[in-house]
Structure 1
Amino acid sequence: MPRFSIIVPVFKVQGFLRECLDSVLTQSFTDIEVIAVDDCSPDHCGAIIDEYAAADPRVHAVHLAENAGLGGARNAGVTHATGDYLLFLDSDDSYTPGALAAIDERLRRTSDPDVLVFDHVRTHWWGSGGRSMTADLLASAGTDTFDILGSPQYLHLFLVAWNKAYRRDFFTGHGFTYRKGLYEDAPVTYQALVSARRIGCLDRVCVEYRQRRQGAITRTPGRKHFDIFPQYAGIFAFLDEHPELDAARPLLFERMINHFLTTLPNTERVPAEDRGDFYRTTVEFHRRYKPAGFTPPFDRYRLQWRLTASSPYAVFRAVSALQSVGTAALRKKRRLHKTVARKAKRTFTRVQRTRPLDPNLAVYSAFSHRGPLGDPAAVHQAAGVVAPHVRAVWVVHPGFADRMPEGVDFVLPDTPAYHRVMSRATYFFNNVNWAPGLVKREGQIHVQTHRGTPLKHMGIDLLGRPAALHHLNVRAQLWRSDRWDYSLVSGRHAERAWESAYPCHFTSLPTGAPRNDVLVKGDPLRGVAVRRRLGIPDGRTVVLYAPTPRDHRKWYDPRLDFERLARATGPGVTLLVRLHPQYARAAVRGLQLRDLERRGLLIDVTDEPSVEDVMLASDALVTDYSALMFDYACLDRPIVVHADDWEVFQVTRGTYFDLLATPPGHVTTSTGQLADLLISGTWRDERSAALRAAFRTRFCEYDDGNAAARVVSLVMLGQEYPPPPIPQQDPGRLRDAAPSGLTKSTR
């Protein structure tokens, strides 16, 4: 008997079916059976499931004699199931890697409850969406189990079949069946939740829920959406048959009316000409099923609740229209307030710009105002020693203000203090561009530190690559880059790349990357302290995995099977995972990695503020095409390039050189290859060291551990101190690039 019976109803999904089945059959957890039910699909779906059944004994193909609909196909699958638990997966959706293992682990940890609910992420044709609305609710359950009467808030969980695992004997013992028509999930979901004595939750994204661009019946207006009424009538018929569940009646009545009120104004469901009938049926259900003594909820539908108790549709429609007018008026009032405030700020800023510049004031920002990080932080620290007379002020987003170190001065964006320092400072250091509205005054000096050496195309070099240009305004980017006076580079490759990407008026300073000073010099005690703070036992080999985003994917798309890698390398290896900052709030990252971390398979260090700390704490770097490889080379520790989609990346993003021809270490293309490399010890062999040395010589030629002090000396003091690390064949380069007078005209 398998642990899981996974039922996949199939109808007109030949374009998605293979991806769905592959997501199930390639799971690390294999104690499953897959029951694929061909609901008389007119395309090639039947042949596809037969092909999978012939290739894998875990797949059972069921062909229905006539179309039964989504609910009927699920019911048919249940009759063939033999597993401990029933899972339903729609044939255009898919499981995330490691989902079944996580579900099994949580079921065992909660002693096999009647129902386990897990999370999902919406995937659109352009990429994945954000966290589900019930993610926090799932997380709050922890590893406890509950029933609905004691925890009624869990009736707000997503009303679908495919985000739950039902214990089979519980499901079949209660005779749960899906009804024909739309909204078929509602009766089974609510009946199961109110009947279950023990319900568990798993706050991990296990399902990628595909929002198809077309063909979704839930976004097709018509009378079919009136199916919602007989579906809910079936729920109350079930309660009539089970008087022991009568205490759940008020809860389900509330969910029913709210569902109706949500569906009524939805233009993708109920056409305007049918809304009167829909409302009148809602009123009828309100009168028929309202429990004695019921009190309407105090939520955003509270006025509609009162109307449905007694008012005709004309009144309901008029009140709804008035609410819309009131909402529009409130928006207009808020826009007016913003306009007045904007004018006042402009006036204040113009006054500030009439005052002289402060020659001893420097403004810093990093990563869109996240605080003292990266190269600007290293320059700030060096300035405190080399140019202590220059006052430093950081621009910090309000969400990061509480993380500011004690004694470091800062201002919040778009405040009077911000406009004051931005109008009067002489020096500006940033690793991204300043806001478009910033007016650069004559005499102000802007230093662009960047965020590493570029491998992938940037700026105008992205023209002709639509995926990379999505939501990127190159013209505006170049306009902001025209404000740069100096661009810091770690080598001649970076200098050529930045000048190609941004053909603006700046001067490249061959100083090295300030944030790499600590990597070049090394700091063993700092690395040990970070390991202890992260809870890494002594003697472990620590591998840092840091991938770069994919422009053709809106959200994070795992390139490695972390669970398989962690289990293969064993307890002697600790895997640190650091995703790109733009994925910090991604649903799959936030829930999938958290689940793996909870099980001790990895440590998610995406939110660690200092990437330098994470690098110092590691023994090796695994990356794909991230600029972090150039920084890590300064540590002189092994680097592995995991290039499973190199050709696709070159086409969609473009690169300044062929990484696979001159890699900084060994190259892998699959999780299995990477695991073998780490287990065998090949990752740190002589070839790895030779490749890394050649890579460092080519791309890190100016990184000598004195970059930050060099930047401060050149920009703030006009001095060539400490001595530049320029190759002997080019002795005059720094002298020609060094600022003289340090006064730049307005860009």
Structure 2
Amino acid sequence: MPRFSVIVPAYQVQAYLHECLDSVLSQSYPDLELIAVDDCSPDACGAVIDEFAARDPRVRAVHLPENGGLGPARNAGMERATGDYLVFLDGDDTLTPDALLALADRLKETGEPDVLVYDYARTYWSGETVRNRAAAELGEAGPAPFRLADRPGLLNLLMVAWNKTYRRKFVERAGLTFPPGYYEDTPWTYPVLMTAGSIATLDRVCVHYRQRRTGGILRTTSERHFDVFDQYDRVFAFLDERPELRRWRPVLFRRMVDHLVTVYARRDRLPHGSRTAFLRRARTHYRRYRTPGAPVSARARAHHAMVRFGLHRTYRSLRLAAALRRRWTRIAGRLPRALGRAALRLHYRVQRLLPLRADRAVFTVHGGRGHGGDPGALESALRDLAPHLRTAWVARPEYHHTLPSATARLVPGTAAHWSALARSAYLVTDADVVPGLVKRKGQVVVQTRRGTPLGHAGLDLLERPAAARGTDFARLLRGVDQWDYVISADRHSTLTWERVCPGRYTTLEYGRPRTDRFHTATVADVARLRRSLGVPEGSVAILYAPAHRDYRRTQPRLLDLERLVRRLGPRFVVLSRAHHPHRGPLEAASGRVLDVTGHPDLTALCLASDVLVTDYSPVMFDYAGLDRPVVLHIEDWEAYEAARGAYFDPRAFPPGAVAGSADELIDIFATGHWCGARSARLRADFRARFCAYDDGRAAERVVRRIWLGEARPAPVVPPGERRPVPSAVDVTGPASLTTVPPQQPAGLRTVTDHG
């Protein structure tokens, strides 16, 4: 008897079915059977199912003689299921990696509940991934399992079958089946939640819900959307047969009205000319099942009135008025903006005619973010060493809370910003180009760059179209021509920047100003940062910071972080700083996996952590100067190197242990290699090559050269005399060398392979 029976109905999804079935069969938890039901599909779905059944004995192919819809197809799968738990998955959706493993673990933790509810994310054809907005209802805090009365907020989730797993014996005992017709999930999900003796939640994205451009059932214009009325008749009939469930009638009534309004309001569902009939039937259902008691918001009250009185013409008039109002607002808003832009351009021209202010310096970082990076370190050092100079910082308003009180705050695009840009003698930035800048005679532009180059940069990207996507090289070179100084971290960076960003600037090979903080921070500062991030006292904090994949539209999560912390044990937590430009969800979210992607200060995250796990991210060069353990997790080197290009192979000269897979990474922590003597020697060699100037005085050297005019830089503190702030947890003691029982997957490469 398998642990899971995964039931996949298939009808006209031949383009997506391979990916769907592969996502099930490739799960790290193999104890499953896959029941794929061909719902008499006219395309190649049946052939695809037979192909999978022929090559994997866990697949059971079911071919129905006639098309019955999702409900009957799922029933056919349930009749053949033998697993402990039922999992439903539509043929165009996918399971996320390790989803079944997470389900099995949570089921065991919560005592085999009747129903386990988990999360999903919508995936769009554009590559965007958006997590369920009601994910807060799936928190795992508090007792589990429970009953619906203890967590009624679960009824606010999307009422679908595929975001839950069900104990098969519970389903059989309750006699639950799917009805025919559209919206078949409605009379299944409500009875399941209301009658389940035990429910648990899993705060993890386990399903990727594909949002198809065309072809989805709910985006098909059809009279069959009237089936929603029959489905709610079934729901309330179920309640009428069970007086003990009477308490749920007000909630279900409110949910029914919301659902009917949604179907009515969507333009792509009901055929032309049928909306009046639909609203008439909705009015009948409203009066038939009206049950006061559930709270209704102000907006929902308007919807209730529309359904209750059948106000079809009123609703159409309101929608038309709203559309006209939105259009007029757009038109009316364009003219003032255009006039405002013209006025700012004129203002900037006038300001450029006025004298430069030799005592003013403007600082900014890429993207208009807050105080930080090399510009932030230079701004702080400038105020300390040259207090007669006045500084200003350009940042979007949401980052102004990060700015020191002693520096002026400028909002990009405002008159004050353009005035400062026109009249300040010094401009400091890590962005390739200062937008709109017309450099004046006497202005000095200081370029700090944004990290030591491992992947190709600048003109080297001309041969790397995947990595150079959207790069305007002519604009880049115009920006380079405005640079007066480039701050370089090391000899490798100097040689690279001068070749890939050729210009007449002067290179100051003085180190990384942003890492000065590693030497000036105190143990109390580290403790404060850890508390602010929610790191439990005594925990080993792993900073996970992978590099951006230029060859991927979306940024994959190469590690199952929940599995990682489960294997490493309760002493470890992960600070996850991932790259997901579309704000995709963490596949897991718990008290031991903390999403710090939005944190504005990477240097602070380095200070708060005890070990770095990365791949090709430039943060490894910064972190090495902190002299804390670094572990490289590199699974896709060939793809990364082919798309981006690299100046050297980090596996050949690593700052610490190297893992080629998630299992190897776990083994490195299990055996203590991550903080052992071998890793320390590798890190020392790496620091000698790339951190020669990172002694805590890099910003001072830059300020003294550019602003104070001192020709000879301050001497560099020898590596043996440097004392970066230690981590909050001792990772060199015997207790840290063995954390979890090691596992030896086939083909394991240990750290000694990379000497």
Using the size of structure 1 for normalisation, the TM-score is 0.82
Within a 5 Å distance, the mapping from 1:598-747 to structure 2 comes to 598=591, 600=592, 602=593, 604-606=595-597, 609-616=600-607, 618=609, 620-683=611-674, 688=679, 691-723=682-714
1:186–1:231 Cα contact (<8 Å) kept: yes
Number of the residue aligned with 1:735: none
**Which one is further off, 355-364 or 493-502?**
493-502
SS for the counterpart of 1:558 is: coil
Number of the residue aligned with 2:557: 558
Shift of 1:624: 0.9
2:257–2:307 Cα contact (<8 Å) kept: no
Structure 2, unmatched stretches of 5+, are 719-755
Shift of 1:113: 5.6
Shift of 1:52: 5.9
Shift of 1:708: 0.7
Task: Summarize deviations over 1:238-257 as a string: whole Å, max 9, x none.
Answer: 44544554554454444344
CA distance in structure 2 between the partners assigned to 1:181 and 1:622 by the alignment? 50
Shift of 1:452: 0.8
Shift of 1:203: 3.5
From 278, 281, 286, give the equivalent of 1:284.
281
Identity of aligned residues (%): 43
CA distance in structure 1 between the partners assigned to 2:411 and 2:143 by the alignment? 40
Number of the residue aligned with 1:738: none
CA distance in structure 2 between the partners assigned to 1:655 and 1:225 by the alignment? 55
Task: Summarize deviations over 1:126-153 as a string: whole Å, max 9, x none.
Answer: 4242232223444598667887788766
SS for the counterpart of 1:625 is: coil
Within a 5 Å distance, the mapping from 1:46-445 to structure 2 comes to 46-51=49-54, 53-54=56-57, 61-83=61-83, 85-103=85-103, 115-139=115-139, 154-195=154-195, 200-212=200-212, 215-242=215-242, 245=245, 248-264=248-264, 266-270=266-270, 274-290=271-287, 291-292=289-290, 306-309=305-308, 316-343=315-342, 345-346=344-345, 349-350=348-349, 352-405=351-404, 407-433=406-432, 436-445=435-444
1:53–1:60 Cα contact (<8 Å) kept: no
* Residues 660, 696 of structure 1: alpha-carbon distance in 2 compared, 3 angstrom cutoff: same
CA distance in structure 2 between the partners assigned to 1:337 and 1:147 by the alignment? 56
Task: Summarize deviations over 1:454-496 as a string: whole Å, max 9, x none.
Answer: 1223344434545434555555555555543322112343234
* Residues 256, 431 of structure 1: alpha-carbon distance in 2 compared, 3 angstrom cutoff: same
Number of the residue aligned with 1:514: 513
Number of the residue aligned with 1:737: none
* Residues 174, 448 of structure 1: alpha-carbon distance in 2 compared, 3 angstrom cutoff: same
Task: Summarize deviations over 1:151-184 as a string: whole Å, max 9, x none.
Answer: 7664432232111233445434443322333332
Shift of 1:441: 3.9
CA distance in structure 2 between the partners assigned to 1:335 and 1:309 by the alignment? 40
* Residues 459, 209 of structure 1: alpha-carbon distance in 2 compared, 3 angstrom cutoff: farther
CA distance in structure 2 between the partners assigned to 1:626 and 1:715 by the alignment? 30
**Which one is further off, 650-659 or 135-144?**
135-144
State the AA in 1 paired with 2:615. Answer: D
CA distance in structure 1 between the partners assigned to 2:360 and 2:54 by the alignment? 71
Structure 1, unmatched stretches of 5+, are 728-747
**Which one is further off, 343-352 or 705-714?**
343-352
Shift of 1:362: 1.8
SS for the counterpart of 1:276 is: coil
State the AA in 1 paired with 2:119. Answer: D
State the AA in 2 paired with 1:95. Answer: L
* Residues 309, 545 of structure 1: alpha-carbon distance in 2 compared, 3 angstrom cutoff: closer
CA distance in structure 2 between the partners assigned to 1:542 and 1:141 by the alignment? 21
1:396–1:412 Cα contact (<8 Å) kept: yes
* Residues 87, 524 of structure 1: alpha-carbon distance in 2 compared, 3 angstrom cutoff: same
SS for the counterpart of 1:368 is: helix
Shift of 1:674: 1.9
CA distance in structure 1 between the partners assigned to 2:517 and 2:170 by the alignment? 60
Shift of 1:88: 1.4
* Residues 571, 267 of structure 1: alpha-carbon distance in 2 compared, 3 angstrom cutoff: closer
1:352–1:420 Cα contact (<8 Å) kept: yes
State the AA in 2 paired with 1:209. Answer: Y
CA distance in structure 2 between the partners assigned to 1:528 and 1:245 by the alignment? 51
CA distance in structure 1 between the partners assigned to 2:541 and 2:297 by the alignment? 52
1:280–1:313 Cα contact (<8 Å) kept: no
1:519–1:632 Cα contact (<8 Å) kept: no
Shift of 1:680: 3.0
From 575, 594, 601, give the equivalent of 2:589.
594
CA distance in structure 2 between the partners assigned to 1:619 and 1:3 by the alignment? 38
* Residues 73, 364 of structure 1: alpha-carbon distance in 2 compared, 3 angstrom cutoff: same
CA distance in structure 2 between the partners assigned to 1:568 and 1:293 by the alignment? 50
State the AA in 2 paired with 1:565. Answer: L
What's the C-alpha RMSD, in Å, of the aligned pairs? 4.1
1:183–1:231 Cα contact (<8 Å) kept: yes
1:639–1:666 Cα contact (<8 Å) kept: yes
CA distance in structure 2 between the partners assigned to 1:223 and 1:342 by the alignment? 50
State the AA in 1 paired with 2:132. Answer: S
1:366–1:430 Cα contact (<8 Å) kept: yes
CA distance in structure 1 between the partners assigned to 2:147 and 2:358 by the alignment? 67
Shift of 1:424: 3.1
State the AA in 2 paired with 1:179. Answer: P
CA distance in structure 2 between the partners assigned to 1:159 and 1:221 by the alignment? 21
- Aligned positions, number: 712
* Residues 126, 653 of structure 1: alpha-carbon distance in 2 compared, 3 angstrom cutoff: farther
2:543–2:576 Cα contact (<8 Å) kept: yes
CA distance in structure 2 between the partners assigned to 1:261 and 1:642 by the alignment? 50
1:46–1:63 Cα contact (<8 Å) kept: no
* Residues 509, 305 of structure 1: alpha-carbon distance in 2 compared, 3 angstrom cutoff: same
Task: Summarize deviations over 1:427-455 as a string: whole Å, max 9, x none.
Answer: 22222356624554443322221221112
Number of the residue aligned with 1:739: none
SS for the counterpart of 2:392 is: strand
Task: Summarize deviations over 1:626-646 as a string: whole Å, max 9, x none.
Answer: 011222233445433322111
Task: Summarize deviations over 1:68-108 as a string: whole Å, max 9, x none.
Answer: 43222211222334555433122332333443454456556
State the AA in 1 paired with 2:87. Answer: L
2:264–2:278 Cα contact (<8 Å) kept: no
